[in-house]
Structure 1
């Protein structure tokens, strides 16, 4: 049996890769960064009414630098910071791997996704080295933010190794401006074309962030030529996967935002004493219920007119 086969069998990656096969379902991805957060997540999903919760993925993301460490962004200043960041995330992946194996029974264990931080896609060689470190630490897959052609080359190099790789389109925090994507017919078509390029480069899945809801819905439709996705701040899609964040489920954002989870109860100053597995379990259970009931996330505003929305919705995005 190959190493890749063992990885697939030990994790939840197989249902993710085959989500569009009957019976179809919406899959969940959850960002969690520390072992105690995984413990809280596992307790949340032990609730009787969440026994069939379709948790597919846990991701250790570079957003850790903003949530837990209080940095203003995920952008890194120099080579020393980039090496520190990669080493930090590799350590967190190992911690989360151990917690997943300890807290989830094998048949419910999600696959572990590691996020390549700023600088890790400077060259394909750098991406391959980072991916190797993440997989050695226990990651089942890696994610690449795709802000340009260089990142796509890195994704292709990673995919050619046989490892499971996901691409990230739309708002890319490491090198992108904070704006919504696919909010015109022309931009929607560009998003679809980029998604096809990501698929053709060998990605097994896609994460879209801050894209127009009609674009999210179109990309999420079951299609034999498509790849499954998770969405972030992109509204809801009947067939699409949804990304949630343990931190956001518990800790209020610094500013008011109607699009963040309504479940948060702590201010950041309370985290050192009150951010516990018990509270995480309570808040994550509620957020998962809201998500599965279709009450979260909210649909974002769009600049698309009803006629343009219909045009985008009628597009087959995975066809050339």
Structure 2
């Protein structure tokens, strides 16, 4: 398993970091076998796995359940797990309770927090919980901000820069930048000492993250501009159709799939 120190060294040596989402045992196992540096158990599981139209319906229990499964599938990969909607910004006491529960029960290496929640990041650092910050397009806030590129104006870009510097000072160990102009992302990555992982933020960040189900076209039709398709799970539907047809036609199970033991007496009547 890569340690945080190794990821920091990768940034310093300009070695790009790969991050991929995984939400269960089989996907996490595949991601680990592929040698990807970091697994993100993202709240995007609300849409890719649970069938919601937004991440805001995902609960803390959902995140814990899926992260535990991913941990079993990838015991040797650095794993980050999302703090879901409603677990941040309630009260200092409640925020910390959720952070501690998520971190301790999932055995993740870090938790991810959307937005510049500086006090929470600092308190987590003080008790030993590594935090990955997430700025730019933050899916939990799309009800207000919408799905759009962030940081397009000079004022918005400057705010993103200041927020990025602030989360680093507060103790964030890594930063995810989503859907921002590539030159702005490059500027932030250059200024920060911590690794900056991009999604829709250009090639000059310290690494990239994409959603497992998006890159494999697995159960999702959405294709944001920044997603490249690397595989296609859709032909599996044809296999399922063939199974259905063979069951109906009594072609499955054929002799090779049947156990043959004479137990019941034949009825000669």
Pairwise TM-score range, normalised by the shorter structure: 0.7 to 0.9
Q: Say if 2:132 and 2:175, in contact at 8 Å, map to a contact too.
A: yes
Q: Structure 1 residue 99 and structure 2 residue 35: aligned?
A: no
Displacement of 1:260: 1.9
Q: Is the Cα–Cα contact under 8 Å of residues 214 and 229 in structure 2 kept in the other structure?
A: no
Aligned to 1:217: 186
2:164 aligned residue: 195
Q: Distance in 1 between matches of 2:185 and 2:85?
A: 25
Q: Helix, strand or coil for the counterpart of 2:74?
A: helix
2: CA distance between counterparts of 1:25 and 1:256?
Answer: 27
Aligned residues: 235
1:133 to 79, 96, 101: 101
| CA shift for structure 1 position 258 | 4.4
Q: Which protein has the larger Cα radius of gyration, Structure 1 or Structure 2?
A: 2
Q: 2:28 aligns with which of 15, 18, 38?
A: 38
Alpha-carbon distance in 2 for matches of 1:34, 1:273 = 21
Report the Cα offset of residue 160 of structure 1. 2.1
Show the 5 A alignment for 1:247-258: 247-251=213-217, 253-255=220-222, 257-258=224-225
Q: CA deviation at 1:87?
A: 0.8
| Structure 1 segment 68-107 matched on structure 2, within 5 A | 68-76=49-57, 85-101=59-75
Please name the residue that 1:170 is paired with.
136
Q: Unpaired runs of 5+ in structure 1?
A: 1-9, 46-54, 77-81, 102-108, 275-320
User: For 1:259, which of 206, 226, 234 is the aligned residue?
Assistant: 226
Can you list the C-alpha shifts for 1:151-195, whole angstroms capped at 9, x where unaligned? 333222222212211110001111132111122233221111111
Query: Tell me, what secondary structure is at the counterpart of 1:20?
Result: helix
Partner of 1:142 in structure 2? 111
Q: CA deviation at 1:216?
A: 1.1
Mapped to 2, the partners of 1:145 and 1:89 lie a distance apart of 15
Q: CA deviation at 1:217?
A: 1.2
Does structure 1 residue 15 correspond to structure 2 residue 6? Answer: yes
Alignment partner of 1:24 is 2:45: no
Task: Calculate the aligned-residue CA RMSD, in Å.
Answer: 2.6
For 1:91 and 1:187, the matched residues in 2 are separated by: 36
Structure 2 residues not aligned, in runs of 5+: 242-269
Partner SS, residue 260 of structure 1: coil
Query: Which residue pairs with 1:245 in the alignment?
Result: 211
- Cα pair distance change 1:271/1:110, threshold 3 Å: farther
Deviation at 1:257, TM superposition (A): 4.6
Q: TM-score, normalised by structure 1?
A: 0.67
How far, CA to CA, are the matches of 1:139 and 1:257 in structure 2? Answer: 28
* Displacement of 1:229: 1.0
Instruction: Determine if contact 2:14/2:206 at 8 Å carries over to the other structure.
Output: no
Show the counterpart of 1:156: 122
Q: Report the 3-state secondary structure (helix = DSSP H, G, I; strand = E; otherwise coil) of the residue aligned with 2:139.
A: coil
Greater RCO, 1 or 2 (C-alpha within 8 Å, sep 6+): 1
